[in-house]
Structure 1
Amino acid sequence: MKQKLSISRSKGLAVVAVALASLAFAGCTTTAPKDQATASQQRTDINTSANATLSRLYKSTPDARGLVERAKGVLVFPTVLSAGFVIAAEHGNGVLRVNGRNQGYYSTSAGSIGLQAGAQSKAIVLLFMTQEALDKFRNSNGWTVGADATVAIANVGVNGKIDTNTAQQSVVGFVLTNAGLMAGVSLEGAKIEKVKL
């Protein structure tokens, strides 16, 4: 009799666990109204957010404006969201600008393993400082940081000046959070692909 009760209790717990998991996954896949935005609205949102990201960059690091002006191409991901606990994934959409004009929309995605919890948001700005680096990026069918090109994350001194060695690299990156410019980060393994919006 005890064994029957034990089996019955185990089955009951399993059913409850499956039900809770189903509810959790249903919550994760619910489509929010913003996800249903038209392509035109998505482009407008990305462009507006990209402008705001560049303004934040110039405010935190005034030297960045000169680098952006000299760059052959500027790729701005205004919002890259990462979420997870031990295994995290991140994703965001952005715009490539050449001579100040929008030249296409891209997505970035990456995964990482480590102790991290909750969701975090950051902005990423990539500057293609040479025509060769920009052409290689634009002609690729999926471009991966580290495999297709090295991205030098800008080193900024306490005086707000960008390290001259960083400024001489072919691809320079900036990573910003709400608190400001992030130092000592790596974008290694981030995959960037063109998307149709």
Structure 2
Amino acid sequence: MSSSNSPRLTRRGFALGITGLTFTAACGNGVGSSNATTIDARVDATLNEMYKRYPNTVEISQKATGMLVMPLITEAGFIFGGAYGRGALRIQGATVDYYSAVSGSAGLQIGAQQYTHVLFFMTQDALNDFRRASGWTAGADIGYVVDATGETLSTDTTTLRSPVLAAIFGQAGLKFGATVEGTKYTRIIP
């Protein structure tokens, strides 16, 4: 096969492809959908999968004062990147609010991925701070119980003393190393 017959991928074509991928992924992520029932169904499925794959999260969820469940975060980047998802805050198993998650990044990056994350609020103060904030941003002080590679981390007494714990799992795509650090969460009306 000669190289003159094969299509060439230009920078502009690649950038348009990433933009299209982001738009397509966002559509599948429920962007534009205002159905709270759909978000709740996705949250239920996410929790069931997490408990099945990572049994250590059952005990953590029982000790948590609340959990923010983001069933699908879609992230894409070409030099500049961004991520978006929607989910629900649950307290004692019941949805009390809905939230969006948004993050942006710059630097050497290329690709796209989708993943799930759950934040466990281990203290009432941490939960109250989250709920009172008009736009809460995850910091570097979050402890991880399932890391960016999908490995279960120990849940010793030191880990369980962190005010906020995170589980990131279900990664699919061409980018690796998902984190919640720098993600901004804002209450929404679905």
Q: TM-score range by the shorter chain?
A: 0.7 to 0.9
RMSD: 3.3
Per the alignment, residue 112 of structure 1 pairs with 105
State the TM-score, normalizing by the size of structure 1.
0.72
Structure 1 runs not aligned, ≥5 long = 1-19
Q: Does 1:52 align with 2:66?
A: no
- More displaced, 130-139 or 112-121? 112-121
Per the alignment, residue 152 of structure 1 pairs with 143
Aligned partner (choices 138, 147, 161) of residue 168 of structure 1: 161
Aligned partner (choices 124, 128, 132) of residue 121 of structure 2: 128
Taking the aligned partners of 1:172 and 1:99, their CA distance within structure 2 comes to: 17
Structure 2 runs not aligned, ≥5 long = 1-12
Taking the aligned partners of 1:131 and 1:29, their CA distance within structure 2 comes to: 37
Q: Does 1:186 align with 2:179?
A: yes
Between structures 1 and 2, the one with greater helix share = 1
Instruction: Give the secondary-structure state (helix, strand or coil) at the position aligned to 1:186.
Output: coil
Aligned partner (choices 130, 138, 146) of residue 137 of structure 1: 130
- More displaced, 161-170 or 94-103? 161-170
Higher-Rg member (1/2):
1
Instruction: Indicate conservation of the 8 Å contact 2:168/2:179, yes or no.
Output: no
Taking the aligned partners of 1:120 and 1:185, their CA distance within structure 2 comes to: 9
Change (3 A) 1:159 1:169: closer
Taking the aligned partners of 1:120 and 1:141, their CA distance within structure 2 comes to: 27
Aligned partner (choices 57, 68, 78) of residue 71 of structure 2: 78
Q: Deviations over 1:20-56 (max 9, x none)?
A: 9xx98x968799696554x3x3x11211111111122
Between structures 1 and 2, the one with greater strand share = 2
Taking the aligned partners of 2:83 and 2:124, their CA distance within structure 1 comes to: 28
State the TM-score, normalizing by the size of structure 2.
0.74
Change (3 A) 1:67 1:83: same
Change (3 A) 1:195 1:155: closer
Taking the aligned partners of 1:123 and 1:86, their CA distance within structure 2 comes to: 23
Instruction: Give the secondary-structure state (helix, strand or coil) at the position aligned to 2:81.
Output: strand
Taking the aligned partners of 2:138 and 2:117, their CA distance within structure 1 comes to: 13
Per the alignment, residue 6 of structure 2 pairs with none
Q: Deviations over 1:141-193 (max 9, x none)?
A: 110112xx83212267x7875343222211000101247xxx97532211111
